[in-house]
Amino acid sequence: MSDHSEHSAETDLGPKPVGNPAGFVKYFKYDLVSGFLVFLIALPLCLGIALACGYPAIAGVFTAIVGSILTTFISNSELTIKGPAAGLIVIAVGCVEAFGGTGYMGEVAQTDIDAYRMALAVGVIAAILQIVFGLLRAGVLGEFFPLSAVHGMLAAIGVIIMVKQIPVALGVQGATGEPLEMIREIPHYFAEMNPEIAVIGVVGVAIMFIWPWVQKVHAVMKAIPAAMVVLVATVPMGMYFDLLHSHTYNFHGHTYELGESYLVNMPDRVFGMFDYITTPDFRAFDREHFGTALVWVFMFFAIGSLESLLSAKAVDIIDPWKRKTNLDRDMVAVGVGNLACACIGGLPMISEIVRSKANIDNGARTRFADLWHGVFLLLCVALIPTVLHRIPLAALAAMLIYTGFRLTHPKEFLHVYQVGKEQLLIFVATLLGVLGTDLLIGIGIGIATKLAIHLINGVPIKSLFKPYLDVSLIGEDTAVIRAKYSAVFSNWILFRSQIVRHGLGERRNMIVDVSECKLVDHSVMEKLHELERDFDEVGLRFEVRGLDGKEQLSAHDYAARKRTMTRLRRVTVVASQSLEAELTSRFVALGASGYTVMACRGAGRSTRADGSGEHQAQIRLEAVVPHEVSNSILDYLRGEISPDHPITACTETVEVLRRDQF
């Protein structure tokens, strides 16, 4: 920010809180309260996400505890909450299923335990890659993925989460299959539902969707998370239906079974959580499984790292004090946390955006709020595990259905469409690609779609992955980077490195000139806005030139810009000199932003008909205008001028470099 903005922030919010020993004491009450409120949100989500991943429920809590306590002292990110995330469910459950497991819903076989342990081994190697990734300062690679493809992938994950949790919420056990196959089976799940379990699931879903509206109406309710309300409502329902004991009941002539398999599997004694510590099984990398393991290592590493980087950047934007996370250091922290989690039986973790935003909304000041949320989780699972055992699986499924809906909310489609129609195409292509194949191929389809659109828009192949830049200096304090051919997501990493090096690195103002680019895509437009904030925060000026001469593909600020010829209409009128003042004034009044008048002489049909053959003094008036203005001018000439004055008028379509030049 500029000096003025920094001064304003200091005045309004006070000095930037720092997560050091002094900050721990100074901001204790803020961080403790926020940590407790985030704990209330995190507890049921950690349990539900773990089960949806095919891991034991307690694995999610292990991850949140390790993430909050360990990464607090490694990362410099002050407000991000580290823990399991819904965005990794599809990867984790896919890994478990690839090793022959079916998960920890209901009865657990030895094959499920073996698959879980081999998934932990995959997590170990992926975590090591994340640590190396951060140490090599490769966090910038998160800049590569096109934003519309990332959002399309997350929307697809949302659909998959909902589809896989619907049968759980309805009490249908053993429902598995590919996403599209399970979508087709949804009517069957409703036909086969267990009525008492379905009541719990439906009540949970209703609360998750209704509670945000209640929070808007009653301010007192804002501090109570919807997930906790679901537990308060559904745990007594589970006790009423006596889910702790196996029994049957009749409903409309059908017999249904109930029992502990519909409840969360938790330790049955105080400190029993330590009995659930599980070690990785590195048979995942033997000759039989090696190829499968490598695929999932890459998936855990790539998607987990990308989600974590994007979340950390998003939290920086909404941080009231605009503190900046060192993304490389944060990636090392996430990698170390994931390594520890995988070694004791936990899920993979990321910097999680939803809980981080709740952390900010609840008044957290430093990273110790994350620490406190982990401490509360540890105390809860260690001291009252039998209470947690009473949570119905259908209640957790209800929370995940809502989480999946938020990932694929119709507003996501609308937002992407507002950015540009081509962005919606990329979004939908990625979504369908993930649903029809898998995450890796699906994101590849999204990237390929975007590259194809760039080629159609005239981007030279040679500039798809390599930026062509000229760097020069204006005095000692300003650098100018002139880009040629294109500025697109696939060449952005090298482009950005030059901006950072010559601007932030050397403490210079920066001018980025994209006049000679055929295309500046949506991803680059958004990242240029991010860089503008980065420069502003350190008191430097950042300016982008050359966008005015390009067609904006939508009205959105971040819409792609394409260099193209704009089609307008040229209206040409030949009339008597005496009409010059009237014609020019009316042309302007009707919408012409400018005109050209030339003196000329000529003879028309009427002059030649009377035999005089004399040339008459005339004017030639031209205006290049939009189509609707052209029509208004012609209507005016036809209705008010031509009945009383001999004139000629014609129009033609012309292509111009810049619309604003006329």
Residue 255: φ, ψ to 5°: -105, 130
Read off the pLDDT band of 146 (50, 70, 90).
confident
Q: In this predicted structure, what is the pLDDT of residue 537?
A: 85
pLDDT tens for 59-110 read: 999 999 999 999 999 999 999 999 999 989 999 999 999 999 999 987 889 9
Structure tokens at 555: 């009205």
Q: In this predicted structure, what is the pLDDT of residue 8?
A: 37
Report the distance separating Cα 96 and Cα 50, nearest Å: 12
Q: In this predicted structure, what is the pLDDT of residue 96?
A: 96
- Contact of 98 with 111, CB cutoff 8 Å: no
1 has pLDDT over 50: no
DSSP alpha helix (H) spans, 109-174: 110-135, 147-170
Closest alpha carbon to 234 in 272, 196, 269: 196
Q: In this predicted structure, what is the pLDDT of residue 612?
A: 58
660 has pLDDT over 70: no
pLDDT tens for 438-493 read: 888 999 999 999 999 999 999 999 999 999 999 999 988 999 999 999 999 999 99
Structure tokens at 78: 């002050």
Q: In this predicted structure, what is the pLDDT of residue 216?
A: 86
611 has pLDDT over 70: no
Read off the pLDDT band of 606 (50, 70, 90).
low
13 has pLDDT over 80: no
- Contact of 457 with 155, CB cutoff 8 Å: no
3-state helix, strand, coil in the chain (%, to 5): 60, 15, 25
Terminus-to-terminus CA distance in the chain, angstroms? 36
Closest alpha carbon to 110 in 289, 341, 281, 277: 281
Q: In this predicted structure, what is the pLDDT of residue 5?
A: 39
Q: In this predicted structure, what is the pLDDT of residue 512?
A: 97
Q: How far is CA 553 from CA 567, 629, 654, 661, in A?
A: 15, 22, 20, 19
- Contact of 520 with 489, CB cutoff 8 Å: no
DSSP alpha helix (H) spans, 251-319: 290-318
Structure tokens at 132: 């190396």
Report the distance separating Cα 416 and Cα 146, nearest Å: 12
- For the segment 401-408, the average pLDDT, to the nearest whole number, is 93
Closest alpha carbon to 579 in 646, 509, 481: 646
Q: In this predicted structure, what is the pLDDT of residue 140?
A: 73
Where b means 16+ CB within 10 Å and e means fewer, 94-109 reads bbbebbebbbbbbebe
Q: How far is CA 253 from CA 98, 171, 249, 259, 506, in A?
A: 40, 18, 10, 20, 78
Which of 172-186, 338-352, 496-510 comes out lowest in average pLDDT? Answer: 172-186
- For the segment 111-115, the average pLDDT, to the nearest whole number, is 96
Which of 105-114, 339-348, 619-628 comes out lowest in average pLDDT? Answer: 105-114
Report the distance separating Cα 516 and Cα 534, nearest Å: 25
Q: How far is CA 465 from CA 200, 485, 517, in A?
A: 52, 11, 14
Q: In this predicted structure, what is the pLDDT of residue 469?
A: 96
Structure tokens at 579: 């009409």
Closest alpha carbon to 341 in 63, 101, 540: 63
Q: In this predicted structure, what is the pLDDT of residue 125?
A: 98
R_g over Cα of the chain: 32
Mean pLDDT, rounded, of the chain: 91
Strands 478-487 and 509-520: what pairing? parallel
- For the segment 240-266, the average pLDDT, to the nearest whole number, is 94
pLDDT tens for 163-193 read: 999 999 999 988 888 899 999 999 999 999 9
pLDDT tens for 548-598 read: 878 889 989 899 999 877 788 999 999 999 999 999 999 999 999 999 999
Read off the pLDDT band of 34 (50, 70, 90).
very high
155 has pLDDT over 90: yes
Give the predicted TM-score (pTM) of the model.
0.80
Beta bridge partners of 516: 484
In degrees, rounded to 5, the angle at the alpha carbon of residue 90 between the alpha carbons of residues 143 and 200 is 130
- Contact of 580 with 548, CB cutoff 8 Å: no
**What is the CB neighbour count within 10 angstroms for residue 31?**
27
- For the segment 374-390, the average pLDDT, to the nearest whole number, is 95
Q: In this predicted structure, what is the pLDDT of residue 564?
A: 78
